[in-house]
Amino acid sequence: MQQGIQCIIGLGNPGGKYQDNRHNVGFWFVDELARRYSVSLRPEGKFFGETGKLELAAGKCWLLKPMTYMNRSGKSANALTRFYRISPENILVVHDELDLPAGAVRLKQGGGHGGHNGLRDIISALGSRDFWRLRLGIDHPGHRDKVTGYVLSRPSREDQHKLELAIDTSADHIDDLLKGDFQKFMNQVHSRGA
C-alpha cells in the first residue's frame, strides 16, 4: 500500500460573502474535518492560510485553507508543503467539480486542471500534477458563460443537502486516505451519490 495523505488542502475564497458559495466546498470539507476531530484552524502568515493538524490513529495530516483567493491557491499550498517536505503524491486537494452531478464524489490522482483556477495555480506552484484530488460535484449550469456566476452563488436547498451528504460520507472514510488505502476509499465513496 502506498503512503497516505499528509496534507489536505480545501479550496475556496476567504470572506463572508463567499462562504456559502458552491466554489467553497473545499473549505466546507476541511471545516467538517476540523469540527469532527476538534482541530483548531488558525491563521498562519507564512503559509498564507488557516492551518491545523489532524492526528488520528491512521496517521497525521495537515489541514489547510488558503486565504489567498482561489486563483492564487498555489502560493499557500506550496508554502506549507515545501516547509514540511510533503511530496505531491501525499497531498489531497479538495475542490468543486462542474463535470459531476451535485453530491457526486470522485477521488483521482493527477490529471489536468479542467479550467479550475485553483487547480491551475496549484499545478503551476508545485510544478507537479501528481497530487490527489477529491472532486465534489456541484453540477453544471448548462453554458460556460454562466459558470462564474454559478460557482459564486449558493446551491439550491436540494443540492446543498447532497453536498453535505457527500462531505459527510467522504469525512467518514478519512482514515483510508491517511493510510494510503485509496482504492478502499473509492469503493466506499464512489458507490454513493451519482
Cα of first residue to Cα of last residue in the chain, in angstroms, is 28
CATH label, 7-189, candidates 3.40.50.620, 3.40.50.1470, 3.10.20.30, 3.90.1150.200? 3.40.50.1470
Domain spans in the chain, listed from the N-terminal domain onward: 7-189
Other CB atoms within a 10 A radius of the CB of residue 56 amount to 13
C-alpha cell at 80: 506549507
pTM metric for this prediction: 0.96
Q: List active site positions.
A: 23
Three-state DSSP class for residue 130: coil
Cβ atoms of 23 and 152 closer than 8 Å:
yes
Q: What is the pLDDT of residue 3?
A: 86
pLDDT value of residue 191: 61
**Average per-residue pLDDT for the chain:** 95
What are the pLDDT digits (tens) for 6-52? 999 999 999 999 999 999 999 999 999 999 999 999 999 999 999 99
Binding residues: 18, 69, 71, 117
Which residue ranges make up the annotated binding site for tRNA? 18, 69, 71, 117
Q: Assess contact for 83 and 47: CB atoms under 8 A.
A: yes
* Calpha distance 41→30 (Å, rounded): 9
CA–centroid distance for 74 within its chain:
13
